[in-house]
């Protein structure tokens, strides 16, 4: 009797591999047509297509000028059919911020803002009163998000700032080094990268 090599029986003796798991794995693998020239990476891609679970950045994601920059990450989004450049992603901000000038450019007036009674500290450690909140619909890549922003009367280097509330809600991972943000939508990884433009 010829014994099958242990490497060809990965579930044998493995405490977490129950027969139901083994049967499900064999069924799934038996439904895939694999060419004899398929690499192991190609096989993994075939099995995981449509089921993105891991976001990563590599040197291939670096901008054309490489890693020798110190730029923050700005992206462009769309809102109400308008392109909105210079949207800053900031992992140190506990708020999504919309400057009053941007809110006015969107057609909002202070009477449209929802209530918000707290005072916040700005990036320069000064206290700022929040004028109110505004829900703004953003199209980022193929995905639409209804995002709550705190409206502040401040001069900024951005049109909108997406902080923890947006980043954590959608599970976005961004890299200022790579000048990209990635998130999973409908089982696929969406990548949005910096595009230079002007303020609105």
User: Mind giving me the DSSP string for 134-148?
Assistant: EEEEEEETTEEEEEE
* Other Cβ atoms within 10 Å of 156 Cβ, number: 18
Intervals of CATH 2.40.70.10 along the chain: 59-193
Measured distance CA(109)–CA(129) in Å, rounded: 16
Specify the residue for token string 């707290």.
118
Q: Is the pLDDT of residue 108 over 80?
A: yes
What does the pLDDT read at residue 192?
A: 94
For residues 161 and 192, give the distance between their C-alpha atoms in angstroms, rounded to a whole number: 15
pLDDT at 98: 96
25, 35, 114, 121, 161 from 128: Cα distances, Å: 57, 63, 17, 6, 16
Other C-beta atoms within 10 Å of 179: how many? 21
User: Using one digit for the tens of pLDDT, what is the confidence trace for 46-64?
Assistant: 666 655 568 899 999 999 8
Lowest mean per-residue pLDDT among 50-54, 128-132, 164-168: 50-54
Residue 53 confidence (pLDDT): 67
The residue-averaged pLDDT of 81-95 equals: 93
Q: Taking the model in full, what pTM does it have?
A: 0.71
Tell me which architecture the domain covering 59-193 has in CATH.
Beta Barrel (2.40)
- 39 or 10, higher pLDDT: 39
Task: Using the predicted structure, report yes or no on whether residue 197 has a pLDDT greater than 70.
Answer: no
Residue 30 has pLDDT above 90, yes or no: no
On the question of pLDDT at 168 being above 80, the answer is yes
């Amino acid at each position: 009797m010829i014994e099958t090599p242990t490497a060809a029986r990965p579930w044998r003796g493995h405490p977490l591999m129950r027969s139901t798991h083994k049967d499900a794995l064999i069924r799934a693998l038996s439904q895939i047509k694999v060419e004899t020239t398929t690499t192991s990476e190609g096989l993994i891609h075939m099995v995981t297509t449509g089921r993105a679970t891991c976001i990563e950045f590599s040197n291939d994601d670096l901008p054309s000028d490489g890693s020798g920059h110190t730029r923050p990450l700005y992206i462009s989004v769309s809102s109400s059919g308008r392109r909105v450049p210079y949207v800053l992603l900031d992992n140190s901000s506990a708020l999504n911020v919309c400057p009053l000038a941007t809110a006015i450019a969107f057609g909002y007036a202070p009477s449209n803002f929802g209530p918000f009674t707290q005072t916040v500290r700005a990036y320069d450690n000064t206290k700022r009163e929040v004028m109110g909140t505004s829900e703004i619909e953003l199209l980022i890549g193929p995905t639409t998000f209804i995002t709550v922003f705190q409206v502040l009367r401040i001069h900024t280097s951005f049109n909108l700032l997406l902080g923890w509330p947006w980043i954590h809600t959608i599970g976005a991972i961004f890299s200022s080094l790579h000048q990209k943000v990635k998130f999973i939508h409908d089982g696929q990884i969406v990548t949005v990268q910096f595009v230079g433009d002007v303020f609105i």
